[in-house]
Amino acid sequence: MSNALWLAVLASALGTYLIRVLPLLWMRRRLRRLDGNDNVDAMPQWLGILGPLMIAALFGVSLVPRDPSATTWLATAIGIAITLLVWYRKRSLGWPVAAGVAAYGVIIVLVGM
């Protein structure tokens, strides 16, 4: 890899890190300045709303199969239903995900046979 290409890698790495860390430093300074007892209330309301919505957006994006077809959409629907069902019963993180992946895999295998 040429020196110029290495510089591009380093610039991308540094830029990505700064995108992740600078808002933290800004927010910490804001929290210190407000010096409130309740840190959550010190967060701008729009930021507090964007957090859960970003997770919802990540969910929506990841929900679309990489190779959309009737099979993958069916497997996705059943996988999501099973994940939801197991989450409702267990209220945990690992089991619903494992059950969802297993259900997704079973549908892919069964329909593909």
Partner 1 sequence: MTTRPHALSTSPWLAGMREAIPLLGGYIPVAISFGLIAIQAGFTAWEATLISVLVYAGASQFLFIGMVATGSPLWLVVAMTLLINVRHLVYAPNLAPWLTASRHWPWLMHGLTDQIFALAHSRLPQLPEHQRLGWYTGAALLAWASWIAGTVLGAVAGDWLMTQWPLLGEVMPFALPALFLVLVVPRFTSRRWTLALSLTIAMAMACTLAGLTNLGIPLSALCGALCFYLVKFDTRPTGGSHE
Interface residues toward partner 1, by CB under 8 A: 1, 4-5, 7-13, 15-17, 19-21, 23-28, 31, 39-40, 42-43, 46-64, 66, 68, 75-76, 79-80, 83-84, 87, 93-94, 96-98, 100-101, 104-105, 108-109
Compare residues 61 and 70 and give the one whose CB is closer to partner 1. Answer: 61
- The residue type at 55: I
Contacts of 103 (CB under 8 A, 6+ apart): 75, 78, 79, 81, 82, 83
Task: In angstroms, give the least distance from the CB of 70 to partner 1.
Answer: 15
Task: In angstroms, give the least distance from the CB of 105 to partner 1.
Answer: 4
CB atoms within 10 A of CB 76: 19
What is the spatial distance between Cα 84 and Cα 81, in angstroms, rounded to a whole number? 5
Task: In angstroms, give the least distance from the CB of 87 to partner 1.
Answer: 5
28 Cα distance to chain centroid: 23
Task: In angstroms, give the least distance from the CB of 41 to partner 1.
Answer: 9
From 23, 14, 63, 62, select the one nearest 44 (Cα to Cα): 23
